[in-house]
Copies of this chain bind each other. A is one copy, B any other.
Amino acid sequence: MTAPRAPCIILVRPQLGENIGMAARAMANFGLQDLRIVAPRDGWPNAKAVDAAVGASALVERASVFETVAGAVADLNRVAATTARQRGQAKPVLSPVDAMADWAGRAAAGQAVGVLFGPERTGLANEEVALADAIVSFPVDPAHSSLNLAQAVSLMAYEWRKTALGGAAPFAIDHETPPASREALLAFFAYLEDELATAGYFVPSIKRPIMARNLNNILRRADLTEQDVRTLRGMVAALVRGRGRVSAREAEPE
């Protein structure tokens, strides 16, 4: 059996090259290889990142750099966001151990998993957290909840390796088609939002972002497969195209 595909680490708008390098070193310590960086503050390449990586400089040098989080997660089947704070988003909240239990099975089934880490000072923006399927939170003391970025990466990589070495029997997920790629999911959400805007759903318009995010969070929780996304798209298209027919509830204003 080939080794399960390890999660990729996605650093979103990282500020310090040293932290990027130390995160890469931690990844190498625990057998992770795929480093992705979104909009690094100080540009790319970054000599400080290479220096701080010590023996893992090659991992920094072959990191993929993206302009947006959406681009960085496009090919993944499952995305988690790390955050220490409650974000008012209706997503599952997992400990690192819980996350690994889920990911081990997915990885064994050939699915690609990634973890988002936010900038040092602020953490992930709410709209970045919204792109994830689940939140991973470390069991920190609430009075000292600010984790160093590279240490957070280290903890996640360590848990991954423990799981990967533990030989826990990977379980098969009973889905007939694989989880939707994030790209397919985002395209569906964009389509749905367009149609709802056209239909006059977003009232008042200033609430459109939060209303759209609420809908996205509801639908993400369903752990949609490629087929599910096609089904939902067909449902929306049918409702839109049913124009000129009579609504089942025409007489009952909503």
Is there an interface contact between B148 and A25, defined as CB atoms closer than 8 Å? yes
Please tell me if A86 contacts chain B, counting CB pairs below 8 Å: yes
Contact for A90 among B55, B174, B254, CB less than 8 A: B174
In the complex, whether A92 has a CB less than 8 A from a CB of chain B is: yes
A16 contacts chain B at the CB level, 8 A cutoff: no
A248 touches which of B87, B88, B91, B191 (Cβ 8 Å) = B191
Q: Does A137 interact with chain B (Cβ within 8 Å)?
A: yes
Interface size on A, residues (CB 8 A): 93
- A175 / chain B contacts, CB cutoff of 8 Å: 90
A117 CB to nearest B CB, Å? 14
Docked-complex contact A244 and B246, CB < 8 angstroms: no
Q: Which partner residue on chain B sits nearest A252 by CB separation?
A: B237
What does the 1/0 interface line of A21-53 toward B look like (CB < 8 Å)? 010011011110000000000000000000000
Please report the C-alpha to C-alpha distance between residue A191 and residue B247 in the assembled complex, in whole angstroms.
10
- CB < 8 Å neighbour of A241 from B84, B98, B140, B199: B199
**Contact: A174 with B86, CB < 8 Å?**
yes
Write the nearest CB–CB distance from A154 to chain B, whole angstroms: 4
Contact A151 B225 (CB under 8 A): no
Q: Does A204 contact B (CB under 8 A)?
A: no
Complex alpha-carbon distance, A228 and B191, angstroms: 20
Decide yes or no whether A119 CB sits under 8 A from chain B: no
Name the CB-closest residue of B to A228. B218
Stretch at the interface among A7-15, A70-78, A108-116, A164-172: A164-172
**Quick check: is A233 within 8 A (CB to CB) of the other chain?**
yes
Known: A139-B161, A234-B254. 4 other contacts (CB 8 A): A199-B245, A215-B232, A239-B240, A240-B247
Q: What would 19 A/B residue contacts be, using CB atoms closer than 8 Å?
A: A22-B151, A26-B148, A29-B146, A29-B151, A30-B140, A55-B146, A90-B225, A90-B228, A95-B168, A97-B162, A148-B154, A151-B154, A192-B235, A199-B242, A201-B234, A218-B222, A221-B223, A240-B247, A243-B243
